[in-house]
Structure 1
C-alpha cells in the first residue's frame, strides 16, 4: 500500500468514526478519490499570530505537503482571485478566494443530500474538483454537472478530473444562474454560501427534488439547509445545524462600505435589546433575515464606541452604545434597522427561542424567511 493510500484509509476511518461518513456507498466513493491529486498546485497555510492573517505557500514535494493533504481541514488554494501557491514565496496578506473544503464536511453534505443511484446532480462551485470526483464515484460521470465561477480554477479541476479518468459535465460561469441546459435536476448542492437562494435553482430542481446549500449573510453567520422544492415553485426545509461556514458566492460578497453616513444624526431611543446579542452565532443568523443587506462594524465617535449596523444600499444605519446598564440606539435613513432586528428576535423569543435545528427556511421567488 502506498503512502497516500494509507493516509486516505486513515482519513476515511476518522470520518467514519466522527459520523461524517454514515453509509457504505459514500465510504466507497471517498476511498476512490485521492485528495492529494487535487492539491498538486499546493495550498496556503495561515501564519500563526498574524492579524490580519498572513498566508504562506506549501507546494508539492515540500515537507508536510502529503500529510496535510490528508488532514481533515480546509486548505486555501487561491488568494485575491488569481494568486496560486506556486506564484509566490514568503507571505501574503490578502483575502482567500478559493479553497479545498475539509473532507469530513464534503462527505457530511453528500450524505445529507440524500441522493440515490440514477439521480442527476448539479454542483455549484467545482473548486478543486474533489467533491465533484466523489459525486462521480458514487453516481457516474453522466449524472454529474458542476459549474465554477473562476475560469482558471475550473481549468485546473478539469485537468485533475481527466487525469483520474472522470469526465462529468463541467461548466464555467455564474453558478447562481444554475445550468438550465442539463435540468431539471434531482439534487442541487452548493459548495459556496449564498445570501438568498437563487430563483434559478428552484426552477431547475424537479418538484420533490432537493437543494442543499449554506445560507449566510453579511453579519457573518451561516447554516446548512436542505430544501425540498414544491409543485408551486417554492421550497422549504430544515436547518441542519453545525455552524457550517463557506465563502459567499462572489456576487453575494459584501460590498465596500464607502463613505459612512453621519452617525450623529437620526432618532435616538433606549433599545430593548443590546448590540451584544449579535455576538451569538445563532442570533446573528436569525437577525440576518430581518436586515439582509446590513453589515456590522465598530466605530469610535470620540466619546464611546458605537456598535453599528449599516445598509450601504439604502444608507440606513443603527448605532448602539451602552450607558451604564442601558443600551441606546440611534437610527437614520429610510429603514429602522434595529427596529427590524428587535421585532424579528422578539417574535423568535415569543415562540420559545427554538434552536436552529428546530427552524424551517421557506423560499419563494419573492424572498426567504425563517420560522419555527
Structure 2
C-alpha cells in the first residue's frame, strides 16, 4: 500500500469514527477520491505565533505536503484573490480567499444533503474540486453542476477532476445567481457562506428539493441551514448546529468602513448586557439578527479598550467599555444600535435561550427571517 493510500484509509476511518461519514454510499465515494489530487498546486500553512497571521507555502513533494493533504483540516489554497503557493518564497501576511474545506465537514454536509441515486445537484463554490469529485463518485457526473466565482480556481479544479476521469458540468460565474441552464435541481449545496439565501437558488430548485447553505454575518458567527423549497416559491428549514463556518461569498463580504465617526460623542448609559456576549458563538449569532449590517472593532479610546459596533448601512454606532465591574455603552446615529441588541437578546433569554438548532430560517420573496 502506498503512502497516500494508507493516509487516505486513515482519514476515511477517522471520519467514520467521528460520525461525519455515516452511510456506505458516501463511504465508497470518499474512498474513491484521493484528496492529494486536488492539492497538487500546494497549500499555505499558518506560521505559528504570527500576528497578524502569516502564511508559508507547502508545495507538492515538500515537507509535510502529503500528510497535510490527508489531515482533517481546511487548507488555504489562495491568498489575496490571486496568490497561490508557487508564487511565494517565504511568508505572506494577507487574507485567505480560497481553501480546501476539511474533509469531515465536506462529508458531513454531503450526508446532510440527503441525495438519492438520481438527484440533480448544484454545488455553489467548486474550490479545489474535491467535494465535486466526491459528488461525482456518488452520483453520475452529468447530475452534478458546480459553479466557481474565480476563473483560475475553476480551471485548476477542472484539471484535477480530469486527472481522475471526472467531467461534471463546471461553470465559471457568480454562484449567487445559480445556473438556470441546468435547472431545476433536486439539491443545492453551498461551500461558501451567505448572509441571506439568494432567490435564484430557490427559483432553480424543484418543489420538495433541499438547499444546504451556511448562513452567517459580519460578526463572524454562522450556521448550516437545510431548507425545503415549497410550491409557493418560499423555503424554510432548521439550522443544523455544529458551528459551521465558511468564507463569505465575495459579494456578501462587508464593505470597507472608511472614515470612522467621532466615537467620543453620543449618549452614554449603563449597559444591561456587556460586550462579552459578543465572544459567545450562539449569542453573537442572535446579535447579528438585531444588527445585520454591524461590524465589530476593538479600539483604544480615552486610554481604555472599547468594543465598537458600526452599522455600515445607517452609520449608527455603539461603543462599550467596562469600568468598576459594570458595562457602559455610548451610542449615536439614526438608530440606537445597542438598544436593539439588548432587546433582541432579551427576547431570546425570555424564550429560554434556545440553541441554534431550535432556530428556523424562512425565505420569501420579501426577504429572509430567522426565528425561534
Answer whether TM exceeds 0.5 for this pair.
yes
How is 1:260-299 mapped onto 2 (pairs within 5 angstroms)?
Answer: 260-299=260-299
Distance between the aligned counterparts of 2:144 and 2:35, measured in 1? 19
* Equivalent in the alignment of 1:233: 233
Equivalence for 2:38: 38
Query: C-alpha distance in 1, partners of 2:230/2:268?
Result: 44
Classify the secondary structure of the residue corresponding to 1:342: helix
Distance in 2, matches of 1:266 and 1:366, equals 34
CA distance in 1: counterparts of 2:266 and 2:201, whole angstroms: 40
Partner of 2:86: 86
**Which residue of the partner structure matches residue 343 of structure 2?**
343
SS across alignment from 2:10? helix
- Does residue 1:144 correspond to 2:134, yes or no? no
Give the secondary structure class of the aligned counterpart of 1:289: helix
- The runs of at least 4 consecutive aligned structure 1 residues that moved more than 3 Å come to none
- Whether the 8 Å CA contact 1:286–1:370 is kept in 2: the answer is no
Q: Aligned equivalents of 1:16 and 1:87: distance in 2?
A: 36
Per-residue deviation, 1:91: 0.6
Q: Which residue of structure 1 aligns with residue 162 of structure 2?
A: 162
Give 2:171's aligned residue.
171
- How far residue 191 of structure 1 moved from its aligned partner, in angstroms, is 0.4
Structure 1 unmatched ranges of 5 or more: none
**Number of matched residues?**
372
Tell me what 2:198 maps to.
Answer: 198
Q: How does 1:48-67 map to 2 (within 5 A)?
A: 48-67=48-67
Alignment of 1:1-16 (within 5 A): 1-16=1-16
Task: Provide TM-score, normalisation by structure 2.
Answer: 0.97
Query: How far apart are the structure 2 equivalents of 1:53 and 1:73?
Result: 17
Q: CA deviation at 1:302?
A: 1.6
Q: Secondary structure at the match of 2:136?
A: helix
TM-score (norm 1): 0.97
Q: How far apart, in 2, do the equivalents of 1:239 and 1:181 lie? A: 29
Aligned residues: CA RMSD: 1.2
Structure 1 position 307 matched with structure 2 position 307: yes
Task: Tell me the CA shift for residue 205 of structure 1.
Answer: 1.2
Distance (whole Å) between structure 1 residues aligned to residue 86 and residue 138 of structure 2: 32
Counterpart CA distance in 1 for 2:207 and 2:190 is 18
Q: 2:320 aligns to what?
A: 320
Q: What's 1:105 paired with? A: 105
Tell me how far 1:322 sits from its aligned partner: 2.3
SS in 2 for 1:343: helix
Moved more, 77-86 or 259-268: 259-268
1:306 positional shift: 2.1
